[in-house]
Amino acid sequence: MVPLRKNRAEPPPRECALSNCINFLSKTWAASVVWYLGETPRRFNELKYDLEGISAKMLAVRLKELQEAGIVLRHERPTSPPTVEYELTALGCELLLTLRQFVNIGHKLKAEGHAL
Amino acid sequence: MVPLRKNRAEPPPRECALSNCINFLSKTWAASVVWYLGETPRRFNELKYDLEGISAKMLAVRLKELQEAGIVLRHERPTSPPTVEYELTALGCELLLTLRQFVNIGHKLKAEGHAL
DNA sequence: CCGTATCCCCGCTGATACTG
DNA sequence: CAGTATCAGCGGGGATACGG
């Protein structure tokens, strides 16, 4: 009977898996918001259009979270009716690049015949 | 009044944001399972120990999903009691590398003073 | 146009008990 | 050891209506 290895030689700190920006992408729509923001600044209803099926409530919530996380910037123009544009910060762009790698891996998995 | 841009010049295919392996990481514990699998093969109860708080049920479910997705391999040894080892596939390792980039970005965000 | 406030549902997760 | 089966709960997210 093989004894249970309590931990590997180099135990990954628990905070890594639990408390990082991965949690953000885990929330519904969050990754998609970053994805559709892309490099171009985008307005609220444009995003709402891109993210077909999202409710205004959730989009607002996610955008606020992403702002507080330093991933998204909000620009409000004092026009009437109000005009608001959202864009990725530098780290937000970095995040987008990483998201693209996921998409790439996803395609490879599908190419191998796996059902995601 | 600025007209609503229906789509950007190069519209990202919707399947990219919605139907990729990002969905897997969105499920509770999924990213952590991949994380703690690391490079070393790992047994069921070892993973259950690493992922403090996970129930056997969820671990089994996630592992099965990851198998079907081509991210995890299952090796069963015909011993008594049974011995089962899980390890990442090649694409699973690729996924892990990408997860580490997320963790890295998470640290940068925190370094900027943002609360994740 | 850009949100916020409220209500409500159902699907995911945990707890528990059991099996090969 | 490595799971499966069943049930119950709660909270994330949708629908709707309203506000600056």
CA distance A98 to A105: 11
What pLDDT score does A116 carry?
A: 78
Residues 6+ apart with CB under 8 A from A76: A82, A83, A84
CA distance B116 to B113: 9
CA distance B33 to B16: 23
Q: Which nucleotides of C are covered by protein (CB under 7 A)?
A: 1-6, 12-17, 20
Q: pLDDT digit of tens for each residue in chain B (116 aa)?
A: 333 344 333 445 566 666 677 888 889 999 999 999 998 999 999 999 999 999 999 999 999 999 999 999 999 998 888 999 999 999 999 999 999 999 999 999 999 999 87
Phi, psi of B28 (to 5 degrees): -55, 130
pTM (predicted TM-score): 0.87
What residues in A contact B21, CB-CB < 8 Å? 102, 105-106, 109, 116
CA distance A95 to A100: 9
